[in-house]
Amino acid sequence: MQTDQPTLICIVGPTAIGKTSLSLKLANQFSTEILSADSRQFYKEMTIGTAVPSEDELAKAQHHFIQHLSIEDEYNVGKFEADGIAKLQTIFKTKSKAILVGGSGLYQKAITEGLDTFPEIPLKIRQKYTSIFETEGLEKLQALLKENDPEAYNVIEISNPRRLTRALEVVETSGKSFTFFQNQDKKERPFEVIKIGLDAPREVIYRRIEKRVDMMIEQGLVEEAKRLYPSRHLNALQTVGYRELFSYFDGKLSLAEAISEIKKNTRRFAKRQLTWFKKDPDIHWFHFETPLEDILFTIENKKTNRT
């Protein structure tokens, strides 16, 4: 039975599928505000490479958690959970619906279900993987995770060294897959949740990704990355679109090779996003070109996962 609780509408799906466009249409339809759950868009120094909504798009609805941090700031999913829930409490004082949009599955999950409890990691194990990353690089961490926890390897963002080391720490400490700890009981939330997923045939997604990368290059991504190059060691910059260009600046890749790597790694990222989201039975999936009216019908008539 439905309750009279407010509703959080979550928009998920792979990168470049059109989540921002749908979020703006829904925010306009329900006269409400948008929370971003895209962890790459939190940082004010990163604009082009993270596909931050344009000024015109930002002006169409009130947005939260868009470029509100500096790359120098320490921020994590736990802080995002607390900040996001607090923001929703404020929004729901005057509005019956709010929008949560973004392809970072863990950050979406933090708001809708709460974070899972992981084992305490001994300092010796933490230092071990930090040392491996510093001496042997990202590729070594990726190989270790693929060998020791292939299930986690298939779903986490393997271009992010913090995610890799975290998963390796957990599997070594507990003897269980990192994903085992991501299937715990959900926290009760004082709002309903309905999840809308956008999808398309794989070749369409890949074509959209390649077009977006080309557009980013035209908009000045190389120049943006060059400005950020002195800070390349920061965790916020361990992300697709920047790491490849840093390798270009280091002379390890040509510019054409770097762009090709960005496209390849973004395709891989999209595949991981879909792997993550497809495991969630509560998501109502739509082709990315589905008319808004059909999505609105589902929002207004389908039972949510809090019934």
Percent of the chain with pLDDT over 90: 80
What region does 13 belong to: left with phi over 0, alpha with psi -120 to 50, or beta?
left
Looking at residue 242, its pLDDT comes to 97
Looking at residue 143, its pLDDT comes to 94
Helix-helix angle 255-278:202-219, to 10 degrees: 140
Which pair of tokens denotes residue 256? 């054409």
Of 223, 218, 199, residue with least CA distance to 287: 199
Looking at residue 183, its pLDDT comes to 67
Looking at residue 60, its pLDDT comes to 96
Assess contact for 161 and 141: CB atoms under 8 A.
yes
Looking at residue 179, its pLDDT comes to 84
Looking at residue 264, its pLDDT comes to 97
Which pair of tokens denotes residue 19? 């989540």
Q: What is the pTM of this model?
A: 0.84
CATH fold group of domain 123-182 = Histone, subunit A (1.10.20)
Q: Which stretches of the chain drop beneath a pLDDT of 50?
A: 1-2, 304-307
**Coil/strand/helix, residue 304:** coil
Looking at residue 161, its pLDDT comes to 85
CATH number for the domain running over 7-116+184-301 = 3.40.50.300
Q: Where are the domains of the chain?
A: 7-116+184-301, 123-182
Q: Give residue-wise pLDDT tens across range 165-206.
A: 989 999 999 999 988 877 666 788 999 999 999 999 999 999
Q: Provide the sign of the torsion angle of the four alpha carbons 146, 149, 153, 156, taken in this order.
A: negative
Looking at residue 184, its pLDDT comes to 65
Looking at residue 40, its pLDDT comes to 92
Assess contact for 50 and 20: CB atoms under 8 A.
no
